[in-house]
Chains A and B, each alone.
Chain A
Amino acid sequence: MEKRPNWESPIQFVLACVSYAVGLGNVWRFPYLCQMHGGGGFLIPYLIMLLLEGVPLFYLELAIGQKMSRGSIGAWTAISPYLGGVGLASVVTSLYLCLYYNIINAWSFWYLFHSFQSVLPWAECPINSNRTGPIEECERATPTQYFFFRETLNISPSIEENGGIHTGQAMCLLLAWMITYLFIVRGVKSTGKVVYFTATFPYVVLFIYLIRGITLQGAFNGIKYMFIPKMEQLANPNTWINAATQIFFSLGLGFGSLIAFASYNHYNNNFERQAIIVSMINSGTSIFASIVTFAIYGFKATVNYENCLERVRLLLLNTFNIAEDSITNDNVFTWIEKLNTTYPVQFAEIENQLEACDLESELNTAVEGAGLAFIVYSEAIKNMPLPQLWSVLYFFMLLLLGMGSMLGNVTAIITPLRDFKVLNGVVCLFCMLVGLSFTTTSGNYWFTIFNDYAATFSLLFVVLIEVITVSYIYGIRRFEKDIEDMLGHRPNWYWKIMWTITSPLLLIFLFVTYIVNYIRGGTPTYQAWDKELGKTVVKEYPIFGQIFIGLLLVSSVSCVPLTALYVYCQKRKRGNHLKRAAPWLNCGTL
Chain B
Amino acid sequence: MLGKIFFLLCLSSAWAEDLCSKAVPPEAYYVRLSIKTALGDKAYVWNDNEMFLFQATLAFAMRSQFSGQEYNVSNIVVCDETPRVSFWFVVTSLEDPSRLVSRGDVEQAVRKSRNRINSAFLLTDQTLEFIGITPTLAAPVAPNTPPWLIVFGVVMGAVFAGILVLLVLPLIQKKRKKNQPMEDEDSDEETQVKTAENGPERSGVYNMSFSDDDKFTQM
Contact = CB atoms under 8 A, between A and B. Distances in A.
A175 interface: yes
A324 B85 CA distance: 8
10 contacts: A109-B152, A116-B151, A117-B147, A132-B136, A178-B160, A318-B32, A318-B86, A323-B83, A324-B35, A324-B84
A322 B151 CA distance: 50
B34 interface: yes
A178 B159 contact: yes
Contacts of A114: 147-148
B84 A322 contact: yes
A551 interface: no
A149 interface: no
Interface in B49-108: 82-86
A317 interface: yes
B61 to A, nearest CB: 20
Interface string A225-256: 00000000000000000000000000000000
B116 interface: no
Interface in A142-201: 168, 171-172, 175, 178-179, 181-182, 185-186, 190
Contacts of B155: 109, 113, 175
Contacts of A322: 83-84
Interface string B134-155: 1011011000000111111001
B118 to A, nearest CB: 17
Q: Is the interface of A mostly helix, strand, loop or mixed?
A: helix
Contacts of B176: none
A131 B136 CA distance: 6
Contacts of B163: 178, 181-182, 185
A127 B166 contact: no
A110 B155 CA distance: 12
User: Dominant SS at the B interface?
Assistant: helix
Contacts of B156: 175, 178
- In which size bucket is the chain A interface? 20 to 34
Nearest to B154: A113
A181 B149 CA distance: 22
B177 interface: no
A109 B151 CA distance: 10
Nearest to B82: A321
A126 B134 CA distance: 16
B173 interface: no
A84 to B, nearest CB: 33
A321 B34 CA distance: 11
B36 interface: yes
A-B residue pairs, 5 tightest by C-beta: A321-B82, A113-B148, A323-B83, A321-B84, A324-B36
A172 B166 contact: no
Nearest to B134: A132
Nearest to B166: A185
B167 interface: yes
A464 B25 CA distance: 80
Contacts of A318: 32, 84, 86
B134 A133 contact: yes
Contacts of B160: 178
A175 B137 contact: no
A127 B148 contact: no
Given A116-B150, A181-B163, 6 more contacts: A109-B152, A133-B134, A175-B155, A182-B163, A324-B36, A325-B36
Contacts of A131: 136-137, 139
B140 A127 contact: yes
A182 B166 contact: yes
Contacts of A133: 134, 137
Given A321-B82, A324-B34, A324-B36, A132 B137 contact: yes
A172 B82 CA distance: 56
B151 A113 contact: yes
Contacts of A181: 163
Contact of A113 (B32, B36, B82, B152): B152
B191 interface: no
Nearest to A181: B163
B218 interface: no
Nearest to A121: B148
B203 interface: no
B136 to A, nearest CB: 6
